[in-house]
Structure 1
Amino acid sequence: MGSTTMFQLGQLSQEECWSLFSRVAFSGRTSKECQSLEDIGMKVANKCQGLPLAAKVLGGLLRFKRSREQWQSVLDSEIWELEEAGKESSFNERGRHLMLKLKDKALSLDSICNVKALRTLLVESQSINNSVANAVLPQLLDQPKCLRAVDLSMPRFGCLIEELPKEIGKLTHLRYLNLSNHGDLQILPEVMCDLCNLQTLDITGCRKLEKLPHGIGKLINLRHLLNKGTQRLKFMPKGVEKLASLRTLMKFIVSADAIGNEISTLSDLKNLNQIRGCLEIRGLRNLTDVSEVEQAQLQNKKNLLVLELSFDSDWENFSGKKGEQRVKIDGKTLLEALQPPPFLEKLEIRHYRGPTVFPSWMISLTKLKSLDLSHCKNWKSLPPLGKLPSLESLRIRNMERVKKVGDEFLGLEGDQGQASSSFITAFPNLEHLRFEGLRSWKKWHYGIPSTSSREESVKIMPILSSLEIWGCIKLQSLPDHILQMTTLNKLYIHRSPILSERCRKDTGEYWPSIAHTPNIVINGEYIKREGQ
């Protein structure tokens, strides 16, 4: 069998407790957000009384609360009834927060299974045999009826349990359940849907998980569903639309096989207007009715900052039930219907199979800072992305049919009639630009005459600081604005043999033009490094 080691956790110093709490609570936030919440966060960390488990769990809970008001509410709440594991009493009488480590030795739960008032449970495994956890957890979860937080998370791609014990359904006071990175967990039991007070469910990295409970709509208080990295999930169960309190939904899957009322469709996102942060929508290739997209009303998700749209990689070969050929929606029409909210800051589009398109809604994304376009294999040219006023980072990957990048990329075609005295700026705020895997790309050239007054009135990427070119094996040259740029801090060229040769130190024809760049990396080797 195996054994458990019970830790009556020692106290951290104030600085150590703050470091642990802030690392968890501020994960994924901007520096501006961190500064805004730091003063309240320090007070919360101090109230953890140096308990590492409290700091970790409360940091996890606050990670998804965005406003100062929400953080203040936690600070002022009644959860701070922390009692030390008694100086004169046993753990069983006074303990509230327990960290348990499982080992491959003799099993004894006598000292902990009577912890009726336990509030927080963190289980770690040092066993290579998950049968230890499978034996211990049912007994352990069957005892404490007042648990508020259970953390069974594992290091990346670990395995503590293969199946969640049915006893989990008895923890009706549970608010936080972390099952992240359980590599062998395949199914969540239906009894989980009895956890009516559950607010956070973290199944991040459960890569073998095949489905969510069909009764998920009963989790009416669920606010955060972290389901990134669940590659085998093929659908979202019906009932997701009932989760009116949902704030975080990391991924929504559009299923190829909608069966009666068992599977949610994209239109079920209609009333989930409180979701915020990041949302990935996979399986867009499976849509057969554009009205389903329009009913989802993505544009009304005002707090959504990051949107990933994945059409998936097997567009041509998908089908519904055996022998049935599904009808595809015109790609341009579909992308136009996927209008995101106006305050979006990051957008990613993958495996789009329609023609080159610049949706009408794109120019309205005045807050868009990051754009990632990949595997749009029918694009022969790039859209006029230079029109995006706030774009800071642009990554373009695996566009197999693009052979030339020119004026269309800048978005200046419609400005030819403007007076030469008016200044036009393409990519006014772009700082980072990366091209990767454009294997047919040969020419990067703009048709602005070098002697014209128009050249003086057009600025291209005036604050670009980083340019990366990966795997563009046919690209022959860099445009003048790159060679003349004084703001460029890093030039990275990899597996692009023609450019690599032209940028060779001292002997390459581009070297005199790029030698002022502080950092130059060719095929993984620094040929110039700032300060050297």
Structure 2
Amino acid sequence: MYQQPCKMRTIALESCENIDESFLSTCISRFKYLRLLKLTNASWELLPSSIVSLKHLRSLDLTANERITALPNSICKLQSLQTLNLCGCVNLEEFPRDMRNLISLRWLELTTKQSSFPENGVGCLTSLRFLSIWECSNLMCLPRDTSYLASLRTVIIGNCKQLDLVIPLRLQKLGIRKVPRMVALPEWFQGATNTLQVLVIEDCENLEALPGWLRSFTSLRRLILNSCPKLLSLPEEMHRLTALTDVWIVDCPDLERRCQRDTGEDWPKISHVPNVYFE
């Protein structure tokens, strides 16, 4: 006797060390109406190609699966998918070749062993608004062709030791963490002069200065500088940034001392806070 698929909408498991591929295959075959599938800290190597049958899936979270090496190209047919989290998948060797077909994808968090992104990949996601790149120790450059990323507003980059930053986009929020190759903010950054609202720079051990042209960022409202020991000063006339209401400086000893000495009435309050991310 024919049985209709169960209309379960959500499966969310925080710790999946003892769950094998057969469990995942069963979920895919039985629950055709899933909207959210979250299986974090899993220990299987492959995502079944049958995931293409989850036509209604909007969010797929595979955070911290340290054994998975690849994703099936069939995942690119999930045209309802809006969120994909692959953060902490430290052995992920490559992304599907047709990622540009994820036409609804708005949020992407990833870790990869790749040194560069392939054509028709991340750089072609026209709906993408949030991109987080973590622990990509081999990654040397971001997508070469970013002309399709017109919707991208937030980029967070963390612990990418080989990465050269080139992001010629009109961003609203930018977070950079553990990028030791960065000595100064690159010139392309001026492309966000009229749009950037939040700038977070953390654990950039060789960052020596912020450029004078930063004071032209008229939309900037939050500046967070954390653990940048070589950073000695801020650009002059920062009081021109009338939208800037929060400046948080943490573990930048010389900069903290200088700012505390030079702060005037027009300068925003400087706070000592723990690690701070985006709101």
> TM-score scaled to structure 2, two decimals?
0.73
Distance 1:152 1:375 in 2: 35
Larger relative contact order (C-alpha < 8 A, sep ≥ 6)? 2
Q: Does 1:120 align with 2:6?
A: no
Q: Is the CA contact 1:336–1:360 (under 8 Å) kept in the aligned structure 2?
A: no
**Aligned pair in 2 of structure 1 residues 177, 382: CA closer, same or farther (>3 Å)?**
same
Partner SS, residue 143 of structure 2: coil
Cα RMSD for the two superposed structures: 4.0
- Which of 225, 238, 241 is the matching residue for 2:119? 238
Q: Does 1:347 align with 2:199?
A: yes
Aligned 8 A contact 2:61 2:86 in 1: yes
- Matches of 2:207 and 2:109 in 1, distance apart? 31
3-state SS of paired residue (1:177): strand
User: Which residue pairs with 1:383 in the alignment?
Assistant: 234
> In the alignment, residue 345 of structure 1 is paired with which amino acid?
Q
Matches of 1:372 and 1:341, distance apart in 2? 19
Q: Would the alpha carbon gap of residues 127 and 279 (structure 1) be closer, same or farther in structure 2, given more than 3 Å must change?
A: closer
Match of 1:191 in 2: 74
Shift of 1:352: 6.4
Q: State the match for 2:272 in structure 1.
A: 433
Residue type of the partner of 2:249?
R
Structure 1 CA distance for aligned equivalents of residues 96 and 272 of structure 2: 42
Q: Residue 250 of structure 1 aligns with which residue?
A: 132
Match of 2:246 in 1: 392
The equivalent position to 1:357 in structure 2, one of 206, 210, 213, is: 210
Q: 2:179 aligns with which of 306, 309, 312?
A: 312
DSSP 3-state at the match of 2:186: helix
From 268, 271, 280, give the equivalent of 2:156.
280
Deviation at 1:430, TM superposition (A): 1.3
Instruction: Write the mapping of 1:36-185 to structure 2, written as runs, cut at 5 A.
Output: 114-116=3-5, 118=7, 120-122=9-11, 124=13, 129-131=18-20, 134-144=21-31, 146-154=32-40, 158-159=41-42, 161-185=44-68
Report the Cα offset of residue 168 of structure 1. 0.9
Of the two, which has the highest radius of gyration?
Answer: 1
| CA distance in 2 between partners of 1:397 and 1:125 (Å) | 33
Shift in Å at residue 307 of structure 1?
Answer: 0.8
State the alpha-carbon separation in 2 of the partners of residues 280 and 432 from structure 1: 22
Which structure 2 residue ranges, 5 or more long, are not aligned?
none
2:148 maps to amino acid: N
Q: Compared with structure 1, are the counterparts of its residues 224 and 286 closer, same or farther at alpha carbon in structure 2 (3 Å cutoff)?
A: closer
Q: Secondary structure at 1:241's aligned position in 2?
A: helix
**1:335 partnered with 2:156:** no
Offset at residue 183 of structure 1 (A): 4.3
Letter in 2 for 1:120: R
Measure, in 2, the Cα distance between the counterparts of 1:285 and 1:126. Answer: 31
- The change in CA–CA distance for 1:368 and 1:223 in structure 2 (over 3 A counts) is same
Q: Counterpart of 1:140 in 2: which secondary structure? A: helix
Distance verdict in 2 for CA 1:311–1:362, change over 3 Å:
farther
The 1:307–1:407 alpha-carbon spacing in structure 2 relative to 1, beyond 3 Å, is closer
Quote the residue 2:168 is aligned against: 297
Residues 58 and 80 in structure 2, CA contact (< 8 A), matched pair in contact too: yes
The Cα of 1:245 is off from its aligned counterpart by 1.4
> What is the distance in 2 between the residues matched to 1:213 and 1:172?
18
Cα 1:202–1:341, aligned 2, differ >3 Å: closer, same or farther?
farther
In structure 2, relative to structure 1, the CA distance for the partners of 1:433 and 1:335 (3 Å cut) is farther
Bigger helix share:
1
Tell me how far apart the structure 2 counterparts of residues 286 and 369 of structure 1 sit (CA, whole Å). 25
**Where does 1:493-512 land on structure 2 (aligned, <5 Å)?**
none
State the TM-score, normalizing by the size of structure 1.
0.42
Q: Distance in 2 between matches of 1:409 and 1:336?
A: 30
Q: Is the 8 A contact 2:16 2:39 kept in 1?
A: no
CA deviations 1:31-88 (Å, max 9, x no partner) are xxxxxxxxxxxxxxxxxxxxxxxxxxxxxxxxxxxxxxxxxxxxxxxxxxxxxxxxxx
Q: Is the 1:372–1:395 Cα contact (8 Å) retained in structure 2?
A: yes
Shift of 1:122: 1.0
Could you list the runs of 5+ residues in structure 1 that have no partner in the other structure? 1-91, 94-113, 316-328, 412-423, 437-532
